[in-house]
Amino acid sequence: MTAMIVVTVMLIGMMCVLAYTLAIYALPFMLALAATRFAYGTGAGWIGAGIVGIFAGVASFGVLTLLFSMLRSPILRIVLALIFAAPAAVAGYALVHGVTGEAVPSPVWRQVFCLAGGAFVGAAAAMRLAASAGSQS
């Protein structure tokens, strides 16, 4: 019984790490999903739509990283970072909201934790964009 509890806790931790990682890349994932749905809707089939989606996700992250590294104006860099980090912050908010659904009984504290989680994931997404742009230069 104890082993099952330990395995369950480890799996929940791994799912949170996976969800956090996916939340950081929310904008490229949304663009890849939209491209996949479009390709499938126009008759590309499952395999073709998957290839189009993967290409669109990688290309969108690459274009965002390239733009971030090429822009010299701090205002434009901040705007681009906000465009990249805003969907990640929303995904982080939703992630914390789902995880704390039954664990936090107070709605006020649940909102505090959700806002903090969204801010944390949004900041992590902006730092990931800056780090990948810094490694290209």
- For residue 84, pLDDT beyond 80: yes
Q: Is 86 exposed, middle or buried (0-12, 13-18, 19+ CB in 10 A)?
A: middle
Q: How confident is the model at residue 92 (pLDDT cuts 50, 70, 90)?
A: confident
Give the model's pLDDT for residue 42.
93
DSSP 8-state assignment for residue 4: H
Rounded to an integer, the average pLDDT of 66-87 is: 85
Q: Where are the domains of the chain?
A: 26-136
- Residue 91: the pLDDT is 85
Token pair of 18 as six digits: 């996976």
pLDDT, position 59: 93
Distance CA 48, CA 50 (A): 5
Q: What is the pLDDT at residue 70? A: 87
Judged against a pLDDT cut of 80, whether residue 22 lies above it is answered with: no
- List the helix and strand counts (H, then E) for the chain: 5, 0
| Angle at CA of residue 13, ends 7 and 19, nearest 5° | 135
> What confidence category does residue 136 fall into, taking pLDDT thresholds of 50, 70 and 90?
low
* Model confidence at 135: pLDDT above 90: no
pLDDT tens readout for residues 58-74: 999 888 888 888 888 88
Q: What is the pTM of this model?
A: 0.73
